[in-house]
Amino acid sequence: MDLTKLIRENILELQPYSCARDEFQGEASIFLDANESPFETGLNRYPDPLQKALKTKIGALKQIATENIFLGNGSDEAIDLIYRVFCEPKTDNVVAIEPTYGMYKVCADINNVEYRKSSLNADFDINADDVLQKTDAHTKVIWLCSPNNPTGNSLNADDIKKILENFGGIVVVDEAYIDFSSQPSWAKKLADYQNLIVLQTLSKAWGSAAIRLGMAFASETIIQTLNKVKYPYNINILTQRQALLQLEKRDEIMQQIDCILQQREMLSRELRLLKIVKKVHPSDANFLLVEVENANATYGYLTKRGIIVRNRNNVALCGNCLRITVGLPHENEQLLAQLKRFEEE
Ligand SMILES: *Cc1c(COP(=O)(O)O)cnc(C)c1O
């Protein structure tokens, strides 16, 4: 597969901005090259534009070479960059499953790229043939999200494989919730698929939504092109430092994931016992998609009592569904208690 054929011509030819930290790397005692303040504040120097220390740490943790890692200001930066690198506005298109994470569509609209939808079935299973049928010569990217938001389920691995092997463009698998899933990560398959981009994030299981750090894993050509287009200092030094500290806490995070998985099963079990609950969809993530008798009324009742869930009533295939994030044990207990009260009223 010739990846350069997929990259927009202006991006292929782009001479990227060369910053001071690109032109000199290494140890020195006096830095007079970047017009920074010489007065030490702990923050007076520009950060590493390619975040080498952080990538080394992430690479060791995930068993991925640093050359195959891109870091973004949240996964959202990677999503936007994928459009800007591969999709010619008003000409190219992308295909995504429906329903799924809203940012794929928003970034398509911002970049003036046609967004085609392939509906999941009533059990939220993907139809690989339908996804492939929706593509044409101008389809550059297929967006897959597994475990999927807001449905919570993992997409069937054979279907993802079929799409990877039968589509001549980029296939993105967004694994924001992979740490809660029993399925293996597609990042293990990077060597097999030149056209695969796997997205992960520190925003969910790693407890760091506020620092904005997203990861894209892909072939070297794709990573180098994303690096060419990104802002030179896209990951600030506070984020780089905090991420390095947080990634040291692997054992603690694993315990938190265990707790969330136990709570997810407890919540799922207890919710099913409520008469107002029609269905609790199976989840491989840290949230449950719950179909109730009346989502708007249930949402309103909970909100008045200070409990905020996500009302997905207006999302395709999610009529009367609430998306409920698994919280701390006492938070989940309060949610259940209020839902019981609502049912009895
Ligand atoms: C939460 C979420 C993300 C994370 O986005 P960040 O910008 O990294 O915080 C990415 N994809 C999906 C599907 C999500 O639900």
Determine the 3-state secondary structure of 159 from DSSP.
helix
Mutate to test the pocket of ligand 1, among 203, 212, 213 (most ligand atoms within 8 A of CB): 203
Percent of the chain exceeding pLDDT 70 equals 100
Place of tokens 């807001």: 150
pLDDT digits (tens, 9 = 90+) for 84-104: 999 999 999 999 999 999 999
pLDDT for 168 equals 97
Name the packing angle between helices 75-86 and 103-110 (round to 10°): 40
* Separation between Cα atoms, residue 80 and residue 214, nearest integer Å: 12
Instruction: With CA atoms as reference, report the closest residue to 51 among 199, 229, 243, 225.
Output: 243
Going by CA atoms, what residue is nearest to atom 3 of ligand 1?
176
Ligand 1 pocket (Cβ < 6 Å) reads 74-76, 101, 145, 149, 174, 176, 201, 203-204, 209, 214
Going by CA atoms, what residue is nearest to atom 12 of ligand 1?
176
Mean pLDDT confidence for 11-17: 94
Q: Is the pLDDT of residue 23 over 90?
A: no
CB 1 within 8 A of CB 222: no
Going by CA atoms, what residue is nearest to atom 2 of ligand 1?
176
* Separation between Cα atoms, residue 50 and residue 104, nearest integer Å: 25
Q: Is the pLDDT of residue 25 over 90?
A: no
pLDDT for 1 equals 84
90: left (phi over 0), alpha (psi -120 to 50) or beta: left
- For residue 62, name the pLDDT band (cuts at 50, 70, 90): very high
pLDDT for 179 equals 98
| Cα of 176 from ligand 1 centre, angstroms | 5
pLDDT for 18 equals 86
Sheet holding 287-292, edge to edge: 277-280, 287-292, 321-325, 310-311
| Cα 318 versus chain centre, distance | 20
Instruction: With CA atoms as reference, report the closest residue to 226 among 172, 149, 163, 167.
Output: 172
63: left (phi over 0), alpha (psi -120 to 50) or beta: left
- For residue 193, name the pLDDT band (cuts at 50, 70, 90): very high
pLDDT digits (tens, 9 = 90+) for 129-170: 999 999 999 999 999 999 999 999 999 999 999 999 999 999
pLDDT digits (tens, 9 = 90+) for 219-231: 999 999 999 999 9
Mean pLDDT, the chain, integer: 97
* Separation between Cα atoms, residue 322 and residue 310, nearest integer Å: 6
Determine the 3-state secondary structure of 59 from DSSP.
helix
pLDDT for 300 equals 98
Q: Is the pLDDT of residue 36 over 90?
A: yes
Q: How far is CA 150 from CA 80, 100, 220, 225, 287, in A?
A: 20, 6, 31, 30, 8
Q: How far is CA 113 from CA 81, 94, 99, in A?
A: 13, 7, 18
Mean pLDDT confidence for 71-86: 98
- For residue 27, name the pLDDT band (cuts at 50, 70, 90): confident
Going by CA atoms, what residue is nearest to atom 11 of ligand 1?
176
pLDDT digits (tens, 9 = 90+) for 282-312: 999 999 999 999 999 999 999 999 999 999 9
Mean pLDDT confidence for 187-205: 98
Q: What is the number of the ligand 1 atom nearest to the C-alpha of 204?
A: 1
pLDDT digits (tens, 9 = 90+) for 100-128: 999 999 999 999 999 999 999 999 999 99
